Each structure stands twice: as structure tokens, then as C-alpha cells.
Structure 1
Amino acid sequence: MDKYDAVTLARNLLADYGLPSWDVRLNKNKRQLGVCKESLKRIELSEHYIAMNSSEKVIDTILHEIAHALVGVEHGHDAVWKEMCKKLGCNPNSCENSAEMPEGDWRADCPTCTKVFTRFRRPKTLSGFYCTECGPVKGALVFKNLRLKYKQRVVQAAAKHAGTKNEGTKQLMLKIF
């Protein structure tokens, strides 16, 4: 499903469920599939989520957010909200564990169980983290930037292509990438 189809479908479903004055918008969230903003009468969907997941999952997320709109966000994921999800025909869980979302630039692998941990922002310290399943000794994590080498190669290639070794140009290229 493309993002325009998702927005059209969400608007149609909102109207079908008695919420025609509500709006639907796309956002760039990488960790949140969708969100109901009751005070703004708006549902937002992640462009990344729509692009990386099946139509069935996207429809389920739209219905999930409509359930929040119908019962009120003060209900969170309680029994009232779950009952509304059942009426709408969507999964009454608070989050979708099987959703595909982009990984962050910062990554650490547990040396014992090989579980992958990612972050979108640089952690304040790169060490001192550990896998809770393996413990602080066997599961010590060290975060590394996955895109740093890629960025350096791009900057070197761009500087070479431009025929300059100007530090200002290199810094500008780093900002772009």
C-alpha cells in the first residue's frame, strides 16, 4: 500500500465510524507506527511503517488509532479500548512486535545471544549498556555508528570529485549526509 492510499483509506474509515471532522497526516516517525492526537482531532501514520509493511498491518494500525479516537485517549490500551478494537476488527494489542521499521544508525550486538540493539541518536556513553537477558558480564554492549564509515567514504568521494580538499566543503558534505 502506498502512503496516499493509506491516507485515503484512513479518512474513509474515520468518516464511516462517525469521525468525518478528523484529519489524517503522515509523519517521519521511525519508532511509532501511528498516533491518535485527540486534542487536534488527527491521526498520524508513519511513512516508514507504511512503506515497509503489508497492507493488512497498515489497516490494522489505522483501526487501532480509530479505536483510540472513538473511546478517547484517556483509556490508553485498557479494557474499554480493547473492546472497541474487537468491534472494529483489529488486533487489541498495544504494539505490533512484528512490524518492520528502519534501524537506527547506532548498533550494538549482544555477544552471547546475538540480539541486536539499535538507537537513532548517539548514546551519551558508548559503553556501560548490557543485554538484560544475558547480564552485565556476558551481555556487555558497545554501540557503534553504522553509517560513519559510509559518510566518510561519501565525503572523500565528493571532495575528490570536486577537486578540493577544502575542510569547509568536507564539513558541508557531512551535514548533508
Structure 2
Amino acid sequence: MNLPDVLSLARSLMEEADVGDWDLAFDRARRRAGQTDHARRRITLSRHLMSLYDEAQVRETVLHEIAHARVGPRHGHDAVWATEATRLGATGRRLIDAQAPRLRGRWVGRCPAGHEVDRMRRPASPVSCSRCAPRFSLEHLLAWSLDGEPVPHERISERYSRLLRQAHIHPPDDPAGSSRTLSS
């Protein structure tokens, strides 16, 4: 949806829901579609995602945020919030539909079996494939690329390299304590 139309729709819905006195703006978020800031009485929408969404997806996002504004900061996505969201005409679900457009992260990790994950930020710790192994596994370590160019593990960061060296020396073998990432 084009951004001026997003603002017009959002402002109209906010007026109808008696939160027209709240500020409305776009932000640079790339994963979350919207955010409600109770302290500033402000709703922000992702400029990037709103431009990819159709009118129904924009409406769902705006109504979701309006419900947060109306019920207050202590409700999160609880039953009180869900009831208000559905009363306003939203689905009352925490997340937008999985089929909604999304932005691919600049960092893409690929496991030896070809499964991929993407991230907006540089990986802080070595990560293994969650589809191939329930816990961290060097055998299923993700190889990373940035904007399509492979990045050797030792060039990701000093911390990443150190943690990976430690994993090679002392592989995680405690099933209760290991996860899919390493950290120090």
C-alpha cells in the first residue's frame, strides 16, 4: 500500500477508536509491523513493511496497535487485549499472517543440508540449524553470507571466532545445557 494511504487509513481508524489524539508516524523497523509507545502516546508503523502490505494487512496492523493503545501497557497480548482487538475488527492474533510479505535480512545462514535463515544483524554467536539438530551441533553449523557474498566464520567477529574455536575444543555435550547457539 502506498505510504500516504497508510497514514490516511491509520488516522481514520485511530479517530474512530478514540485514540485520534495519539501521534502516528513511520519507523525504520524491518521485522515488526507496528509498535505502541504508551509513554509518548504514539503509534509507529514500519515504513518498509507497510509499503509491502495490502490494505487488509495494514488495517490488521493498525487495529492491533490501536487495541494496545486502548487497553494500556500492562496487557501485552493477553485476553483483555485480544477482546479489544477483535471488538475493533482485528483478528486478535499476536502476529500478522505468516503469508504476509517480509523483508529478507542481509545476513543469510545456510546449513550443510541447505536450510536457510536470515537475520538483519550480524550473528553474535555460532548458530546451528534448528531443523537438523535440536541443540547446537558443529555438524549443522550455519555458513553465513552478507548481501549474497560468503563471509568466513573468522571474519564475522572476534567474539564469534573465539566461541567457535571453543566449541571445536570443547564441543557442547551436556543435553540439558546446550542450545542452538553458543554464548559466553
- Tell me whether the two structures share a fold, i.e. TM-score over 0.5: yes
Partners of 1:72 and 1:50 lie apart in 2 by 24
State the 1:148 CA deviation: 5.0
Identity %: 32
SS, match of residue 39 in structure 2: helix
Misfit runs of 4+, over 4 Å? none
Q: CA RMSD in A?
A: 1.8
| Structure number having the greater helix percentage | 1
Partners of 1:88 and 1:139 lie apart in 2 by 45
State the 1:78 CA deviation: 0.3
Matched, 1:105 2:92: no
Offset from partner CA, 1:82-136 (integer Å, 9 cap, x none): 1111111112111123332221211012333x432112222235xx311222112
Unaligned runs of 5+ in 1: 150-177
Aligned to 2:11: 11
AA matched with 1:63? L
Partners of 2:131 and 2:101 lie apart in 1 by 23
Alignment CA distance shift 1:54-1:110 (3 Å): farther
Q: How many residues align?
A: 146
Partners of 2:143 and 2:92 lie apart in 1 by 36
Q: Which has the higher contact order (CA 8 A, sep 6+)?
A: 2
Aligned to 2:170: none
Matched, 1:68 2:68: yes
AA matched with 1:29? A
AA matched with 1:110? C
State the 1:139 CA deviation: 3.2
Offset from partner CA, 1:17-76 (integer Å, 9 cap, x none): 111211110011111100011111111000111111211111100000000011112100
Aligned to 2:129: 131
Aligned to 1:120: 120
Partners of 1:104 and 1:131 lie apart in 2 by 17
Residues 13-162 of structure 1: pairs in structure 2 closer than 5 A: 13-96=13-96, 97-112=98-113, 114-125=114-125, 128-135=126-133, 136=137, 139-146=140-147, 148=149
Alignment CA distance shift 1:123-1:137 (3 Å): closer
Aligned to 2:161: none
Unaligned runs of 5+ in 2: 151-184
> Could you state the TM-score of these two structures normalised by the residue count of structure 2?
0.73
Alignment CA distance shift 1:19-1:124 (3 Å): closer
Partners of 2:147 and 2:15 lie apart in 1 by 44
